Amino acid sequence: MYKKKPLVTVVIPTYNPKEILKRALKSVEKQTYKNIEVIVVDDNYPETKDESFFSEFKLNIKYICLSANKGACYARNKGIEESKGEFIAFLDDDDVFKETKIEKQVNHMLLNPSCPLVICFTLDLRVGKGRLVRPPEIITHKSLLKGFKLSTTSSYLARKSALNQIKKDEGYYFDTNLATNHEYDLALRLSENNDIYCLQEALMIRNKSEGQLSENWTKKIKGQLLLFKKYYKEYSKLGFKGLIFQYIRFIGLLTLFTAGFILGNRIYKFMYLIIGITKK
C-alpha cells in the first residue's frame, strides 16, 4: 500500500523448547511485510539455541540469552533496548502471527502518525474450541481505566518513539514490578495522550493448553492488587463505579481460585470468559 517500508522489530521472549519457538518464527517468516528484524530473548531456558537452529529461517535474527531467568517482561524490555525498528511488535513464543498482521498494522501507523499502539483481534485457542477476543476499534485511556480488557501482548505493534517517551517519563517500558497485567499497564501508559486503535480482524493466534488456565492464580491475585494500588488515584477519579469494578474483578479472581479446588479445571472455562484475565 505504501512505498515507505520502515523497519519493524519483532521481539520474542522465549522460555520454551525449540519446536514451540520454531512455530512462532515460521509465522514471522511468512509475513507479507518483509522489512523485519527479529530479536529473540532467551530467558535462560535450559536448552539453549545455536546458530544452526536459526539458520533455517530466512530472517534477520539477533539472539540474546539472559544469564538468569528474569521473566518475560524483562526479556521484552531487553529486546526493545536492542531494537533498531521504527515500530516494535511483540510475539510470545507460543503464539503465531497471521500472514498480513504486520503489514496491516504498519499501514495503519503510517496513516495515523499520532497513534502510539495498534492491536488486533485475537483468536484465543486456550478455552474449548477457541474464542475471538474483540476489543472496540478505538480504545481510550478512560475506557481502559474502566476495566476494558485487551488482547494479549502478541497483538501489539507499538511506535518506538512512544515507548521511548514513556521510558523517559517513568524510567521503564514494561513494568517488571507488576506480577501480572503487564500488557494492560503498558496500554494505559501509552494511551494517556493518544488513543489506541484496534484492527477489526483476528491477525494472531494465541496457543495455550487448557490446563494452563488454572496456573499461578496466587500470582494473578497479587498482580491485580498491585495494579489497583498503582492506579488507585486514577480509578478514584472515575468515582464509585471505577472503584467497584476493580473490586468485582478482584473478587472474581478469588472466586475462580477457590472454585478450581472445589470443582476442578472445568470451572475455569466459564469464569475465564467472564472476568477476562490474561496470563501474560
Residue 155: its pLDDT value, please?
A: 98
Residue 274: its pLDDT value, please?
A: 46
Contacts of residue 195, defined as CB under 8 A and 6 or more positions apart, other chains included, come to: 115, 138, 139, 140, 141
> What does the mean pLDDT of the chain come to?
84
Q: Give the dihedral sign, CA 24/26/40/190.
A: negative
Query: Residue 203: what residue type?
Result: L
Residue 278: its pLDDT value, please?
A: 44
pLDDT in tens, 67-108: 999 999 999 999 999 999 999 999 999 999 999 999 999 999
pTM: 0.85
pLDDT in tens, 166-212: 999 999 999 999 878 899 999 999 999 999 999 999 999 998 644 44
Q: Domain extents for the chain?
A: 8-210, 212-275
Query: Does residue 215 carry a pLDDT above 60?
Result: no
Helix then strand count (H, E) for the chain reads: 11, 10
Residue 235: its pLDDT value, please?
A: 75
Residue 213: its pLDDT value, please?
A: 42
Query: Does residue 222 carry a pLDDT above 80?
Result: no
Residue 81: its pLDDT value, please?
A: 98
Residue 139: its pLDDT value, please?
A: 96
What is the CATH architecture of 8-210?
Alpha-Beta Complex (3.90)
What's the rounded Cα separation, in Å, for the pair 42 and 178?
20
Which contacts (CB < 8 Å, 24+ apart) does range 145-149 have?
A: 145/188, 145/231, 145/234, 145/235, 145/238, 145/242, 146/238, 146/241, 146/242, 146/245, 147/245, 147/246, 147/249, 149/184, 149/276, 149/278
Query: Residue 129: what residue type?
Result: K
pLDDT in tens, 148-166: 778 899 999 999 999 999 9
